[in-house]
Structure 1
Amino acid sequence: MDPLIRVLVVDDDPLVRSGLGLIFSGADDIDVVGEAEDGADVLTMVDRVRPDLVLMDIRMPRLDGLAATEALRRQPDAPQVLILTTFTTDGYILSALRAGAAGYLLKHTPPAQIVAAVRNTMAGEPVLSPDAVKQLIGAVTRTTDPGPDDERATAESRLRLLGEREREVAIAVARGSTNADIATECYMSLPTVKAHVSHILTKLDLNNRVQIALLVYRAGWV
């Protein structure tokens, strides 16, 4: 059997925490190992229950989910973070992804899709709700004019650190291709694709595939 995915639920609404517990109780491969009601409790709870994934709300009384995500992802061997919230502004989405979140879902997402999102996140696939994708595309297209530091040139300079095949994989990631898709499209084995993705993350000091995609978009390569 595949190992259980250990999930920590972080939300200030006890009804939401209870509802998510019920949703995951029907999934044989997911175990809710803990709950927290505020971002300020996340690091302590992660040390205590050692989750594989943290399902994180954004708006919380003491420490919001964005700050909690950033603090958590700075830790060694940090769990993945999947944002689950009601907010769809591109500022929140971009901030969450830049902080190291592996995905961004809305709370009206159907239960089966939330379960699937947890599995996909742990499989290394980016997870974004359709509304979040629309906001993200809009945010990217609005940043075509270079700012004082010329973001596009900076992004291109970083991507030039990659080898030719790594750049090819990075562009495929930005187009939304899975590892299996990339293996087929680029005539590579699946382990080779996974190795390239890992090297890209290391070379560019990124946390996840979504951040790869953002950098490629910012460089104007797709």
Structure 2
Amino acid sequence: MVDDHPIARRGVEHLLHETGRVKVVAAAGSIGELAAAMEAAEPAADFDVIVLDLYHDGGAPCLDAVARLAGSSRVLVMSASGQPKDVMGAIRAGASGYITKHADDAMFVAAVETVAAGGFALSAPLADILQAELGPSAAAGPVKGRQPSGARQAELSAREEETLNLIASGFTHAQVATRMGVSKATVETYVERIRAKLQIGNKAQLTRAALERLGGTGPV
């Protein structure tokens, strides 16, 4: 994990150790320290998830670091910020999850384990914010001036677009069904159609596909 506050690092390390299921391989105060720790680690050491404080340098959000790290590991962004621009920026950069520092212990541990298993984790309060950001813009189509990619070219029905945006925003299939006024089985059918049309698999890929349709996957 990377956080420039020693107390925060020790707290997270203790919390994860207490689960008996998660091993903290390295705790660093900066990206540079993390890189050194990764180089010095035993060959067998696995960096399955990197928990990264988005503003650990005290300046701009470290979206470049998210993009670099996401190339080799799953990145769970942890931040005091719940601003849509930060959440969207981190996910576009390749993060597999975003959790605020207001989350309780159980939610944080669940997020780490979800990301480690290849899933996508998002703090519950952020789901509505992200869905609001995705909804109108995604429905409007690609941003003018951008070349459409495979994800944006694929034809999705209005209900499939709505399903994609809600799933990408962190809602479960059951929650999506309630919001859309359909059965859970219907939502699952929509999801299968979306995956087939966009040629994607897990929830993290669904999220990035929704953002790509919004107008690009690069950092904002």
Q: TM-score normalised to the size of structure 1?
A: 0.67
Aligned in 2, Cα 1:133/1:148: closer, same or farther, shift over 3 Å? closer
Name the residue aligned to 1:79. Answer: 73
1:33 corresponds to 2:25: yes
Aligned in 2, Cα 1:174/1:187: closer, same or farther, shift over 3 Å? closer
Aligned in 2, Cα 1:112/1:15: closer, same or farther, shift over 3 Å? same
C-alpha contact 1:124 1:209 (8 A) present in aligned 2: no
Name the residue aligned to 1:149. Answer: 144
Residues 108-187 of structure 1 aligned to structure 2 (within 5 Å) = 108-141=102-135, 143=137, 149=144, 154=148, 158-160=151-153, 171=164, 173-174=167-168, 176-177=171-172, 185-186=188-189
1:55 corresponds to 2:58: no
C-alpha contact 1:102 1:209 (8 A) present in aligned 2: no
Residues 21-58 of structure 1, C-alpha deviations (whole Å, 9 max, x = no match): 11112112100111110123333433435410001101
Aligned in 2, Cα 1:53/1:196: closer, same or farther, shift over 3 Å? farther
Aligned in 2, Cα 1:134/1:34: closer, same or farther, shift over 3 Å? same
Q: CA deviation at 1:214?
A: 2.6
Counterpart Cα distance in 2 of 1:27 and 1:130: 22
Give 1 or 2: higher strand fraction: 1
Counterpart Cα distance in 2 of 1:56 and 1:125: 17
What RMSD over aligned residues (CA atoms) do the two structures have, in Å?
4.2
C-alpha contact 1:86 1:106 (8 A) present in aligned 2: yes
Residues 122-167 of structure 1, C-alpha deviations (whole Å, 9 max, x = no match): 223221112322331232246366786266x836x6344599xxx8
Please point out which of 24, 42, 67 is paired with 2:16: 24
Aligned in 2, Cα 1:15/1:197: closer, same or farther, shift over 3 Å? farther
Counterpart Cα distance in 2 of 1:67 and 1:187: 34
Aligned in 2, Cα 1:186/1:158: closer, same or farther, shift over 3 Å? closer
Q: CA deviation at 1:86?
A: 0.2
Residues 172-211 of structure 1 aligned to structure 2 (within 5 Å) = 173-174=167-168, 176-177=171-172, 185-186=188-189, 199-200=199-200, 208-211=205-208
C-alpha contact 1:38 1:64 (8 A) present in aligned 2: no
Q: TM-score normalised to the size of structure 2?
A: 0.68
Identity rate of aligned residues, in percent?
22
Aligned-partner residue type, residue 12 of structure 1:
D
Aligned in 2, Cα 1:119/1:139: closer, same or farther, shift over 3 Å? same
Unpaired stretches in structure 1, ≥5 consecutive residues: 1-8, 202-206
C-alpha contact 1:42 1:68 (8 A) present in aligned 2: no
Name the residue aligned to 1:100. Answer: 94
- SS of aligned partner of 1:118: helix
Name the residue aligned to 2:4. Answer: 12
- The structure whose RCO (Cα within 8 Å, separation 6+) is larger is 2
- SS of aligned partner of 1:31: coil
C-alpha contact 2:63 2:93 (8 A) present in aligned 1: yes
Counterpart Cα distance in 2 of 1:67 and 1:45: 19
- SS of aligned partner of 2:200: helix
Counterpart Cα distance in 1 of 2:197 and 2:76: 20
Name the residue aligned to 2:209. Answer: 212
C-alpha contact 1:174 1:216 (8 A) present in aligned 2: no
